[in-house]
Structure 1
Amino acid sequence: MKTNLNKRIAYIGCLGVVGIISTEFGIIGILPQVAEYYNINIGTAGYLLSAFALLIAITGPFTVLLASKFDKKTIMLYAMVLFFVSNFFSIFSPPFWILMILRILPTVLHPAFFSMVIAAAIKGTSQKYQMKLTAIIIGGIALAQVTLIPLSTFVASIYSWQWTYVIQGFVILLTILIIIRYLPSLPNEQPATFKNQLSILTQPRFISGTLLNILLITAWFCSYSYFADYLSKEKLMNEKEISFLLLLFGAMGILSNYLAGNFLGRKMFWTTLFFVVGVFIVPLGFHYTDNSFLSVVIVTGIWGFMYGPCFLIGVGYMISAAPNAKEFANSLQTSFGNLGVSLGTTVGGLSISQFGISIAPWVGIIFGVLAIFILLWRAYLDRFTKKK
C-alpha cells in the first residue's frame, strides 16, 4: 500500500473520529441542559454517556470479528450512517428513553470503525510510522474537543441543546460523502477468527496494557464527564465561558496528543508516566486556586494537556503487545477504553450524588495510583521480554 494512501486513510479516519467523538462526548457540554429539559438529575443524564460507552465495551470485540469478514470501506460507511441516523432523530428531542436508544444505536459499529481505519492506515508501514499514523486518527478525539464540542456547546447556550445534534450530523454527513468519493475498496485479505486471535488475552504484557488503558481513562472520566457541571456550579462559570474552556481543553489536547505521538515510540514508559501524573495535578490545581476566570483557564489548560493522549497511550500499549493481532487488539482497546469511560462516568456520578459536585476532580486519584502500579508492572514485563 502506498504511503500517500495510508495518509489519506488516516486523515479521513481522523475526520470520522471527529464526528464519532463529538457525538459520544458532545453530550458532556450540554448535560446540564438535557437534565433540566427532561427534569432529571445530572447523574441520570450521565447515563447517556455511560450507557453509550458500556455497550461499546460489551459488544466491541464481537462486532469487530464479524466486521473483519467485510470490506473496510463498507464497514466505515455503515458506521457513519448509524451515527448520522442517531443525530438526525435526536434533533427532535424525543422522550428520554427513545433518546437513550438513539444514543446507543451507533455503538454497534463504533469499535469496528476505529479498528478498520487504523488497520487500513498502518498496513504495510514501519512500526515507527504506524504510531504517527495512529496519532493522526486518534488526534480526531482532541480535534473534536477543540472544534465541534465547544462549538456545539456555544450554539446550544444561545439557542437550544438540540442544535448540538444538527452540527454533529452535518460533519458526519460530510464524512460519509468523503469516504464514498475518496476511499478505494479496502478488502480484508485475512479475516480475523476467534481461534487465532484470542490467544493474546492470556499474555501478561497484553493484560497489563489492557488494565492500564482502563484505569487511565477511568481516572480522567471521573471528572471530565461532568466538565460543564463542575465549572458551572463549583467555579461559577457561565455557558459562554464554559464553551471557551472546552475549546482550550481540546486545543491543549491536540498539542499533547501530537507530542505524545512522537515520544511514545521512543520513550513509552516515561511519556506515559508524565501524563498519568496529571491525574494528581489537576485536582490540586483547582483546590489551590480561586474562581477567577484566569486561574480556571490555567488549570483547565493543564487538564486538557494531561488528558489529551490517554486514548493514544491505550492504543500504544495494547497494540505493541499484540503485533500479530492488531485489529483484534485495537477493537479491545476501543472496548476497554469505553469501559473506562463508562466506569469513570458512573463512579463520578455516584460520588457527586453522595458528596456534591466539588468532589469530581478528586475521584480519579485512586485509579491514577492503580495505573502507576500497572505501568511499573508492564515496564518489568517489557524488560524481561527484551532479555529473552
Structure 2
Amino acid sequence: MKKSLLTLTLGGLGIGITEFVMMGLLPDIAKDLHISIPQAGHLISAYALGVVIGAPLLIVIAGSYPPKKILIVLMMMFTGFNALSAFAPDYSTMFIARLLAGLPHGAFFGVGSVVASRLADKGKEAQSVSLMFAGLTVANILGVPLGTYIGHNFSWRYTFVIIVIVGLITLLSLKYWMPAMPATKNRDLGKELNFFKLPESWLIILMIAIGTGGLFSWYSYIAPLLTEVSGFQASSITYILVIAGAGMMVGNFIGGRLADKFSPAKATITLLIAMSISLVIVHYVSSNQIMALVMTFVTGAIAFAAASPIQMLMINTAKGSEMLAASVSQASFNIGNALGAFLGGLPLLAGYDYTSPVAVGAVMALTGAAFAWMLIARGSRSAKFSYAKTASA
C-alpha cells in the first residue's frame, strides 16, 4: 500500500472508532454521567447531526483549498473535539463535544475519495478509494471491540484518549506522507449545488437516511440488547462486537461484487429488504444466545453490503459534483444514524424491552427499500438516469 493512501486509511480508522464505539459504551457513559441509556443514545444522534451539518458546509467552504491542507485541518478538528469528549464533565458538555466531533467526518471522506482517486495507479481508482473505507472495517473488527473492552474494564474516557492518539498519528502521516496537490481550478460552486435540484438525489438521500437508519436502530442499542435480553455478561460485548465487525467486513466485500454484477439500485433494494427481514428475525430470536450471535454476524454483513451499491448510486447521479455528493452520502448515512438511535429509543422510553428498537429498524429498512423502488421506477422513464442497468453496462 502507498504511504499516501495509508494516511486516508488511518483517518478512516479513527473516524470509524469514534462513530461506532459509542454503541458499546452506552451503559458505561450513562452510569458515569448519571443519565439513562436512551439519553446516552442521544450522544450518538449528536455526532450524526454534526456530520450532517459539517459534510456539505465544510466542502462548500474549503473546496477551493489544496486537498492536503483541507485534510490536515479536518483531522485537527477531529482530534481536538474528541479530546474534549474525553474530558467532558457532564452530559451537556459531552453532547456538544460529540456534535462538534462529527463536523469533519463527511468532509474528510468526501475530499479523501477524490484524493484517493488522484493518487491511484491508472485503472485502480476504485481500489484506492476502498482502501480509505477499509479503515472503517478495521475499526469495527479491532478498534471498536478494543475501545469497548477498555470502556467496560477501565474507563470510557480512556477510549477517547486512544481515538485522540489515532488522530495525532493520522495528522503526522498526512504532513509527511501525503503529497501536495493543487486546488481545484475554475470551481463552479453554483453548478455543484445543482446536485440538490435533482429529484433523484433526494430519493437517494431519503433512501440512505431512512433505510440505513434500520441498522442504527439495532446497533445503537446492541449492548443492552445482548445483556438484558440475550443474557450475555457485559464483559462479553467486546467479543460479540468482533463478530459484528467480521460480518461487516464480509458484507463490504460481497456488496462490492453485487454492485459490479447487478445494477446498484437493484442490489440496494434487495439488500434493504434483506436487512428488514434480518432485523425481524433478530427481534424474535435474541433470547437465544446462539441465534443472537449468528444474527449479529448476518445483520452486520447485510447492512454493510449495501454501502457500495448506495455509494455508486450517489456518484452516478452527481456528475460534476462528486466531492460534494460523496460528503452528502456520508451526511445521509449519519442522518440514518441519528434517526435510528432516536426512533429506536422511543419505545424504550415508553417502557418496552430492548427488542423494540430492532422492530423499529425493520420498518425503517423496508421504507428505504420503497425509496429504492421509486428510484428504479423513475429511472426506467428517464434517458438520463438508467438505474436498471448493471455497473458494467
Q: 1:363 aligns with which of 360, 363, 368?
A: 360
**Structure 1 range deviating more: 318-327 or 192-201:** 192-201
Pair 1:173–1:126, CA change in 2 (3 A) = closer
- TM-score in terms of structure 1 length: 0.91
**Structure 1 range deviating more: 138-147 or 111-120:** 138-147
Hey, what's the Cα distance between the residues in 1 that align with 2:343 and 2:118? Answer: 38
Q: 1:341 aligns with which of 334, 337, 344?
A: 337
Residues 156-167 of structure 1: matches in 2 within 5 Å?
A: 156-167=151-162
By how many angstroms is 1:93 displaced? 4.5
By how many angstroms is 1:321 displaced? 0.4
1:181 aligns to what? Answer: 176
Hey, what's the Cα distance between the residues in 2 that align with 1:290 and 1:343? Answer: 23
2:375 aligns to what? Answer: 378
Contact 2:210-2:339 within 8 A present in 1 as well:
no
By how many angstroms is 1:35 displaced? 0.6
> Aligned partner of 2:277: which letter?
I
**What is the DSSP-based 3-state SS (H/G/I as helix, E as strand, rest coil) of the residue aligned with 2:14?**
helix
Hey, what's the Cα distance between the residues in 2 that align with 1:128 and 1:194? Answer: 28
Q: For residues 136-187 of structure 1, what are the alpha-carbon distances to aligned partners after superposition, in whole Å with 9 as ceiling and x for unaligned?
A: 3223222211111111111222212222112222222221121112111123
1:211 aligns to what? Answer: 206
Contact 1:26-1:152 within 8 A present in 2 as well:
yes
Hey, what's the Cα distance between the residues in 1 that align with 2:108 and 2:246? Answer: 24
> Aligned partner of 1:186: which letter?
M
**What is the DSSP-based 3-state SS (H/G/I as helix, E as strand, rest coil) of the residue aligned with 1:185?**
coil
Pair 1:352–1:311, CA change in 2 (3 A) = farther
Contact 1:50-1:345 within 8 A present in 2 as well:
yes
Residues 232-381 of structure 1: matches in 2 within 5 Å?
A: 232-267=227-262, 268-289=264-285, 291-354=287-350, 355-381=352-378
1:23 aligns with 2:18: yes
> Aligned partner of 1:376: which letter?
W
Contact 1:139-1:257 within 8 A present in 2 as well:
no
> Aligned partner of 1:244: which letter?
Y
Q: 2:47 aligns with which of 52, 55, 62?
A: 52
Pair 1:9–1:272, CA change in 2 (3 A) = farther
Residues 71-110 of structure 1: matches in 2 within 5 Å?
A: 71-110=66-105
**Structure 1 range deviating more: 111-120 or 362-371:** 362-371
**Structure 1 range deviating more: 323-332 or 89-98:** 89-98
Hey, what's the Cα distance between the residues in 1 that align with 2:235 and 2:8? Answer: 30
Q: For residues 59-86 of structure 1, what are the alpha-carbon distances to aligned partners after superposition, in whole Å with 9 as ceiling and x for unaligned?
A: 4212111110212111211222222222
**What is the DSSP-based 3-state SS (H/G/I as helix, E as strand, rest coil) of the residue aligned with 2:182?**
coil
2:389 aligns to what? Answer: none
Hey, what's the Cα distance between the residues in 2 that align with 1:325 and 1:260? Answer: 24
Q: For residues 227-267 of structure 1, what are the alpha-carbon distances to aligned partners after superposition, in whole Å with 9 as ceiling and x for unaligned?
A: 11211111121122211111110111111112212331331
> Aligned partner of 2:172: which letter?
L
**Structure 1 range deviating more: 345-354 or 306-315:** 306-315
Number of equivalenced pairs:
383
Hey, what's the Cα distance between the residues in 1 that align with 2:253 and 2:130? Answer: 7
> Aligned partner of 1:67: which letter?
A
By how many angstroms is 1:327 displaced? 0.8
Hey, what's the Cα distance between the residues in 2 that align with 1:367 and 1:89? Answer: 33
**What is the DSSP-based 3-state SS (H/G/I as helix, E as strand, rest coil) of the residue aligned with 2:212?**
helix
2:226 aligns to what? Answer: 231
By how many angstroms is 1:129 displaced? 4.6
**Structure 1 range deviating more: 262-271 or 210-219:** 262-271
Hey, what's the Cα distance between the residues in 1 that align with 2:195 and 2:384? Answer: 20
What do you get for the CA RMSD once the two structures are aligned?
Answer: 2.4
> Aligned partner of 1:364: which letter?
G
Unmatched tracts of structure 2, length 5 or more: 386-393
Pair 1:386–1:168, CA change in 2 (3 A) = same
